């Protein structure tokens, strides 16, 4: 007799499916296997992606009281069902994309061949503007021809699938219902941030580009930005051989077991086929968490390692008695906030002087560089998010989106963007909103930790246990703005970030 669908079955089989899917992505993206077998998993667990499972989650959502944990669970489970309906149907496209990124070779006019996955690394490491332009031109050509159509089809179909479920009027309204986040409010905040920081950007951008790249700002492209923010002049202060041991030692000094009793697995070596973009893969939460990094060199690796380490610590220290949806799902602004809390240690002068090779006399220059980079990425993500609200919102047309992408991103950053990336440089399901809220969240957390444990909270042995109990242990039961209010008594905003950038820029 077939077991009827219920919330209990949805949780039990949903956790098993999520574990297998996470392992599949970890192995394929880290180069341990050539391709992901996603479709087979959806077929194996098809019972929890049926009309019946969607209805069970919908009924729980409709019958739960606003503000209750049942409501939190129901919202997350329903969101997962809606996302999974898209993901199941789009699995063939996702497999093709992963295979394409792992197999594609970019051929340069001078005869060289570069794996697509390494183009960003090669551009960032190049000091020759003509070489950067050559690599970027070859990358853009193959993306325009092969990858962009795949990505465009994926977003078109995702929007259609989500809207066909009929939970709300359109994709954006559906996302707001299931996330508990207002796109309109965040869009207004982003527009205000871009407007208010424009004078600051105008003051510093041209001078930095001229000094570092020897170029005029009007001549630069996004490829030049990759080299600009590589900031290789500071690499000597961030030796690769000391990165992992130093950062793990720092985490130990704040009273946290750096490997979480062996639950965190560090995969930080070079491997053919490993994706250039670092990631954290929580396979069994909290018992098996992978931190994956493909080395680029210098401060970039330190920053990236810290970011993914924040994720890994969060997943490895979640309370195991939380239901599946709070451990594997929920508002990812929370885990991204912890990731940023750690990577923003690279903006703390005390931390830098204690754990890196930077000395007191070199720290101000590094912080000015970090402040400029922070301003750039916040402006870039504000513009990207505003573009994505149009992409998912249905107006303008799909054919008009590339021009809108170039207009918004180029205006916000001053670097020329390419139409080819309009469907490639997109975070699915408004993950850009999660990043922006995470930026705001980490700023409040940093202020709170300084108030509780002083400016060097990152080596206070009382701080770590508090974070494990009050932050990490809560998994993602709360939305980021709810947790921010609980631990800091303040609401999310860009104001603390602006103050931090102003301090760094001096």
Supply 26's token pair: 């970890």
Q: What is the mean pLDDT of residues 12-18?
A: 96
Is the omega angle on the peptide bond into residue 99 within 30 degrees of 0, that is, cis?
Answer: no
Tokens 């080596």 label which residue?
A: 459
State the Cα–Cα distance between residues 252 and 465, nearest whole angstrom: 11
Residue in 347, 342, 421, 330 with CA at minimum distance from that of residue 383:
421
CA angle (103, 107, 109) in 5-degree steps: 175
Residue in 153, 152, 143, 149 with CA at minimum distance from that of residue 104:
143
Give residue 362's pLDDT.
93
Q: Where are the alpha helices (DSSP H) in 347-362?
A: 349-355
Tokens 């489970």 label which residue?
A: 77
Residue 480: enclosing H or E segment and its boundaries? helix 480-488
3-state secondary structure of 115: strand
Contacts of 293 (CB under 8 A, 6+ apart): 267, 268, 278, 301, 304, 305, 308
3-state secondary structure of 41: helix
State the Cα–Cα distance between residues 31 and 77, nearest whole angstrom: 31
Q: Which residues pair with 156 in a beta bridge?
A: none
Supply 302's token pair: 């330190």
Give residue 39's pLDDT.
84
Q: What is the mean pLDDT of residues 446-455?
A: 95
Supply 132's token pair: 């950067």
Report the sign of the C-alpha dihedral through residues 376, 381, 386, 390, in that order: positive
Could you give the domains of the chain? 1-101 (no CATH), 183-505 (1.10.1370.30)
Contacts of 198 (CB under 8 A, 6+ apart): none
State the Cα–Cα distance between residues 128 and 124, nearest whole angstrom: 10
pLDDT confidence band for 125 (50 / 70 / 90): confident
Give residue 479's pLDDT.
96
% of the chain exceeding 70 in pLDDT: 100
471 vs 207, 318, 325, 349, 468, CA distance in Å? 41, 9, 17, 25, 6
- For the chain, give the mean pLDDT: 94
Is the omega angle on the peptide bond into residue 25 within 30 degrees of 0, that is, cis?
Answer: no
Q: What is the mean pLDDT of residues 165-177?
A: 96
pLDDT confidence band for 216 (50 / 70 / 90): very high
State the Cα–Cα distance between residues 95 and 110, nearest whole angstrom: 32
Q: Is the pLDDT of residue 339 over 90?
A: yes
pLDDT confidence band for 1 (50 / 70 / 90): low
Q: What is the mean pLDDT of residues 223-249?
A: 90
Contacts of 265 (CB under 8 A, 6+ apart): 288, 289, 290, 291
Report the sign of the C-alpha dihedral through residues 472, 473, 479, 485, in that order: negative
Residue 283: enclosing H or E segment and its boundaries? strand 279-284
> For the chain, what's the residue count?
506
Residues 384-423 have pLDDT tens digits of 999 999 999 988 999 999 999 999 999 999 999 999 999 9
Give residue 272's pLDDT.
84
Give residue 297's pLDDT.
73
3-state secondary structure of 291: strand
Q: Say how far residue 54 (Cα) sits from the centre of its chain.
A: 27
Give residue 37's pLDDT.
85
At what angle are helices 495-505 and 431-453 packed, to 10 degrees? Answer: 70
State the Cα–Cα distance between residues 289 and 312, nearest whole angstrom: 6
122 vs 101, 105, 127, 129, 275, CA distance in Å? 16, 13, 10, 12, 14
Contacts of 170 (CB under 8 A, 6+ apart): 163, 393, 394
Q: Is the pLDDT of residue 206 over 90?
A: yes
Q: How far apart are the first and last CA of the chain?
A: 70
Residues 178-200 have pLDDT tens digits of 999 999 999 999 999 999 999 99
CB of 488 within 8 A of CB of 447? yes
pTM of the model as a whole: 0.92
% of the chain exceeding 90 in pLDDT: 85
Residues 45-59 have pLDDT tens digits of 999 999 999 999 999
Supply 504's token pair: 């760094």
199 vs 203, 205, 206, 412, CA distance in Å? 6, 10, 12, 12
Give residue 130's pLDDT.
94
Percent helix, strand and coil across the chain, each rounded to 5?
70, 5, 25
Q: Which residue has the higher pLDDT, 233 or 458?
A: 458
State the Cα–Cα distance between residues 100 and 94, nearest whole angstrom: 10
Supply 260's token pair: 């979480």
């Amino acid at each position: 007799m077939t077991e009827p669908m219920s919330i209990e079955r949805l949780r039990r089989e949903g956790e098993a499916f999520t574990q297998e899917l996470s392992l599949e992505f970890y192995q394929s993206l880290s180069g341990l296997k050539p391709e992901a077998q996603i479709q087979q998993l959806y077929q194996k667990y098809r019972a929890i992606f049926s009309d019946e499972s969607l209805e069970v989650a919908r009924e729980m959502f409709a019958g739960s009281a606003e503000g209750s944990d049942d409501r939190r669970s129901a919202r997350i489970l329903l969101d997962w069902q809606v996302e999974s309906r898209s993901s199941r149907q789009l699995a063939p496209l996702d497999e093709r994309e992963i295979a394409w990124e792992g197999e594609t070779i970019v051929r340069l006019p001078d005869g060289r061949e570069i794996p697509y996955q390494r183009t960003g690394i090669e551009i960032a490491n190049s000091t020759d503007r003509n070489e950067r332009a050559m690599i970027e031109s070859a990358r853009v050509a193959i993306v325009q021809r092969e990858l962009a159509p795949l990505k465009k089809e994926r977003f078109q179909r995702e929007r259609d699938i989500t809207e066909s479920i009929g939970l709300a009027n359109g994709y954006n309204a559906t996302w707001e219902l299931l996330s508990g986040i207002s796109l309109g409010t965040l869009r207004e905040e982003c527009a205000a941030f871009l407007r208010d920081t424009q004078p600051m950007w105008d003051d510093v951008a041209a001078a930095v580009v001229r000094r570092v790249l020897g170029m005029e700002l009007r001549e630069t492209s996004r490829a030049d930005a990759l080299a600009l923010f590589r900031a290789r002049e500071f690499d000597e202060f961030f030796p690769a051989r000391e990165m992992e041991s130093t950062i793990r030692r720092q985490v130990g000094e704040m009273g946290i077991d750096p490997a979480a009793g062996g639950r965190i697995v560090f995969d930080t070596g070079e491997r053919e086929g490993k994706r250039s973009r670092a990631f954290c893969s929580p396979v069994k939460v909290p018992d098996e968490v992978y931190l994956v990094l493909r080395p680029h060199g210098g401060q970039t690796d330190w920053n990236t390692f810290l970011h993914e380490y924040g994720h890994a610590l969060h997943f490895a220290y979640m309370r195991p008695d939380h239901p599946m949806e709070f451990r594997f799902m929920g508002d990812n602004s929370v885990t991204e906030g912890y990731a940023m809390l750690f990577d923003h240690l690279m903006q703390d002068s005390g931390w830098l002087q204690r754990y890196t090779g930077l000395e007191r006399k070199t720290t101000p220059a590094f912080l000015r560089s970090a402040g400029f980079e922070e301003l750039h990425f916040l402006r870039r993500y504000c513009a990207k998010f505003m573009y994505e609200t149009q992409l998912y919102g249905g107006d303008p047309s799909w054919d008009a989106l590339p021009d809108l992408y170039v207009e918004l991103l180029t205006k916000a950053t001053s670097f020329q963007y390419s139409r080819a990336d309009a469907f490639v440089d997109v975070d699915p399901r408004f993950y850009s909103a999660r990043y922006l809220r995470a930026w705001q969240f980490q700023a409040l957390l940093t202020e709170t930790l300084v108030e509780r444990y002083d400016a060097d909270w990152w080596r206070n042995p009382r701080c770590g246990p508090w974070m494990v109990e009050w932050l990490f242990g809560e998994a993602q039961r709360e939305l980021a703005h709810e947790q921010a209010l609980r631990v800091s008594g303040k609401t999310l905003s860009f104001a603390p970030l602006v103050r931090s950038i102003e301090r760094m820029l001096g």
